[in-house]
Structure 1
């Protein structure tokens, strides 16, 4: 055990977050997301919801402030203006970390971006649309 770290920050997750460079993306995905089929590096947090995973990751990961949309979520299919409950939670957590709220992208665009992500963190999130992509920033 280490002092001061969220217990969701497993050794595999910490290694991935530390190994990622500025501009690399980390996907945090829900239980419905085809993570194994879309991940270059897959880290599982099966007992955690996506908001808890995001909270833990934001405690150690700087969010990019060079680009306008460092956080992306998946649009609701058939209702792109809708804001799912999980996305409301993500927005609150990002604001608390001093980052901008996420921008929604179409489902298949999100899948394509997740396939290119440095790592995919598969959570046990059961709420629909509990998926977010983060772009790593720099430590000043």
Structure 2
């Protein structure tokens, strides 16, 4: 055990987060997502919600403030402007960690393509529909 690190972040995921560089992307996906076939390294966190994983990851990983959209969710099929309740929860968590940032969205197949080019995928036990988000890693600035 370590102090000040959320316990749901195990050694494999911590190593991935540490190894990622500025601009690398990590996806947090729901239980229905075809994560095993996506391509990037896969970490499974079955039984843990996507919102809990997002909150834990953002306690350690900064989002990229050099891009307009460092956090992206999957658009609702057939209604791109609709927001599912989990998307509002994602945005609340993002704003708690990164007050000036929000949540943008991508069309379903564009989202799949984006995940395939990412650094890693974290598959959760999330059962709410559209519980998927891509995060672009930012930088840790020097003190002072």
Give the TM-score band, short-chain normalised: over 0.9
2:103 — aligned with what?
102
2:17 — aligned with what?
17
Aligned positions of 1:41-56 closer than 5 A: 41-56=41-56
Q: Aligned-pair distance for 1:120?
A: 0.1
Q: TM-score, normalised by structure 1?
A: 0.98
1:27 — aligned with what?
27
Deviations 1:57-77 (A, max 9, x none): 000001000000000110000
Could you tell me how far apart the structure 2 residues matched to 1:82 and 1:120 are?
Answer: 25
Gapped regions of structure 1 (runs ≥ 5)? none
Q: TM-score, normalised by structure 2?
A: 0.95
Could you tell me how far apart the structure 2 residues matched to 1:62 and 1:93 are?
Answer: 13
Deviations 1:64-101 (A, max 9, x none): 00000000110000111110111111000001112511
2:135 — aligned with what?
134
Instruction: Give the secondary-structure state (helix, strand or coil) at the position aligned to 2:122.
Output: strand
Q: Aligned-pair distance for 1:39?
A: 3.2
Q: Aligned-pair distance for 1:136?
A: 0.1
Between the two proteins, the alignment pairs up a number of residues equal to 140
Could you tell me how far apart the structure 2 residues matched to 1:25 and 1:9 are?
Answer: 17
Instruction: Give the secondary-structure state (helix, strand or coil) at the position aligned to 1:127.
Output: coil
1:124 — aligned with what?
125
Instruction: Give the secondary-structure state (helix, strand or coil) at the position aligned to 2:72.
Output: strand
Structure 1 residue ranges, 4+ long, deviating more than 2 angstroms after superposition: none
Gapped regions of structure 2 (runs ≥ 5)? none
RMSD: 0.7
Deviations 1:23-68 (A, max 9, x none): 0000000000000000311001101000000000000001000000
Could you tell me how far apart the structure 2 residues matched to 1:48 and 1:107 are?
Answer: 23
